[in-house]
Amino acid sequence: MAQAQDFREPADQPFVIWPNIPVIRAADLGEYEQDRKVFADLHALKADPAQVLAALQAVDTLQAHHERLALAQLGRSLNAQFIGEIDKQTRLINPRVRKLRFEFAGITPEQLQRASALDAQNLETLKAKAGRLTLVAYITYTRLEGALMQVTATLVKLSSGASQSFTVTAPTPLLGETLAREVFDYFHGTRFTAHQNPLAGAQWLTAAPGHADRLVSRDAALRYCQSQNGTLPTAGELEAAEAAGFYGGGVVLRQGGVYHVQTGLYDTASSLDGPGRARPNHLTEVPNAYYYCIRHTPPPTPASAARVRR
């Protein structure tokens, strides 16, 4: 089966990134939450409006003063810390191919920032210079409660427009380092082969709509599965589906849940693994378990196999 193109391809190509990374401020979620509490207290008559107004004005003045000082250089600090941490990790592991490089030749930040750079006479020159870059990046951030901040870095491929984003939450002094490690690990970490569905020839069905989130009897579960041209899974099939997981073609089982299988009950609370979780069900008419149905794809007939070979 065809798989989505990996953003990191080609595997041995270095990615040259424009080093001047815009840092954009988003809404302050922590401040918004505090404001909501203040006004909730006012509506609940827990606070004196005059005192609240005076306090808000004093806080606004103090906050605006410090915000001008802090945010004026936050983008530059985060930009420098992010690049420095990428370089630090590169020196530590000394990879065969340096995947991320923040460098350029013959192009300055001003040339991409001033409007005159888009004039017709300069456009082709600008395109040629930008053609030396592989990626551009931008960062958005929002303040949370206390010193915590959340930042999202988005990398964009100039050749295709494809993007990849990374989000981290950390105290302000550690933002650049934490974000850089996330990006560095993505580009330099081991690339794992996609898992194969261990039961690719089977189709899983959820319980009947009327049985959703309910314990039902084995007989009721079996009757519904048969009405869907399926049956109850074996303990081994349920084990394989649980291992594959919801995103790998399998299913998700409740912690401490009990499920109907062909030989009885499959208890996820058991300390045993796999088929060892199965036990007999002596009360087949009592609502005592959840269930999934499984429908097996019939093997090809000799005639259809011959047509495929032809």
Higher pLDDT, 61 or 234: 234
Average pLDDT over residues 201-215: 95
pLDDT band at 11 (very low <50, low <70, confident <90, very high): confident
pLDDT, tens digit (0-9, with 9 covering 90-100), for 163-191: 999 999 999 889 999 999 999 999 999 88
- Is there a contact between 288 and 279 (Cβ–Cβ < 8 Å)? no
Instruction: Look at 19-28, 113-122, 217-226, 230-239 and tell me which has the smallest mean pLDDT.
Output: 113-122
pLDDT, tens digit (0-9, with 9 covering 90-100), for 103-135: 766 555 555 454 544 555 566 665 666 667 788
pLDDT band at 264 (very low <50, low <70, confident <90, very high): very high
**What three-state secondary structure class fits 117?**
helix
- Is there a contact between 160 and 211 (Cβ–Cβ < 8 Å)? no
Task: Give me 14's structure tokens.
Answer: 């270095």
Predicted structure pTM score: 0.68
Find which of 135-139, 194-198, 210-214 is predicted with most confidence, using mean pLDDT: 210-214
| 301, amino acid identity | T
pLDDT band at 215 (very low <50, low <70, confident <90, very high): very high
Q: Which domains does the chain have, with CATH numbers?
A: 15-188 (no CATH), 202-296 (3.10.100.10)
User: CA nearest 261: which of 229, 294, 295?
Assistant: 294
**Considering Cα of 128, then 132, then 134, then 138, what sign does the dihedral take?**
negative
Instruction: Look at 94-98, 110-114, 225-229, 232-236 and tell me which has the smallest mean pLDDT.
Output: 110-114
- Is there a contact between 288 and 215 (Cβ–Cβ < 8 Å)? yes
**Does 171 sit behind a cis peptide bond, omega within 30 degrees of 0 on the bond before it?**
no
CA–CA separation, 16 and 102 (whole Å):
6
Average pLDDT over residues 256-264: 95
The DSSP 8-state label assigned to residue 276 in this structure reads: G
CA–CA separation, 205 and 201 (whole Å):
14
CA–CA separation, 150 and 179 (whole Å):
10
Higher pLDDT, 42 or 245: 245
**pLDDT exceeds 60 at position 23:** yes
CA–CA separation, 144 and 169 (whole Å):
9
Q: What percent of the chain has pLDDT over 90?
A: 45
User: CA nearest 210: which of 153, 142, 282, 291?
Assistant: 291
Find which of 7-21, 85-99, 101-115 is predicted with most confidence, using mean pLDDT: 85-99
Higher pLDDT, 125 or 152: 152
User: CA nearest 81: which of 179, 154, 156?
Assistant: 179
Find which of 34-38, 138-142, 247-251 is predicted with most confidence, using mean pLDDT: 247-251
What confidence score (pLDDT) does residue 126 get? 59
- For residue 63, what are the CA distances in angstroms to 24, 72, 168? 19, 13, 25
- For residue 44, what are the CA distances in angstroms to 31, 39, 49, 59, 167? 20, 9, 11, 22, 37
- Is there a contact between 251 and 204 (Cβ–Cβ < 8 Å)? yes
CA–CA separation, 209 and 176 (whole Å):
48
- Is there a contact between 15 and 100 (Cβ–Cβ < 8 Å)? yes
Q: Give me the DSSP letters along 45-89.
A: T-S-HHHHHHHHHHHHHHHHHHHHHHHHHHHHHHHHHHHHHHHHH
Residue 294: in which H helix or E strand, if any? Answer: strand 293-296
**What three-state secondary structure class fits 306?**
helix
Ranges of H-type helices in the chain: 29-43, 49-93, 109-113, 120-130, 175-188, 218-227, 235-244, 302-309
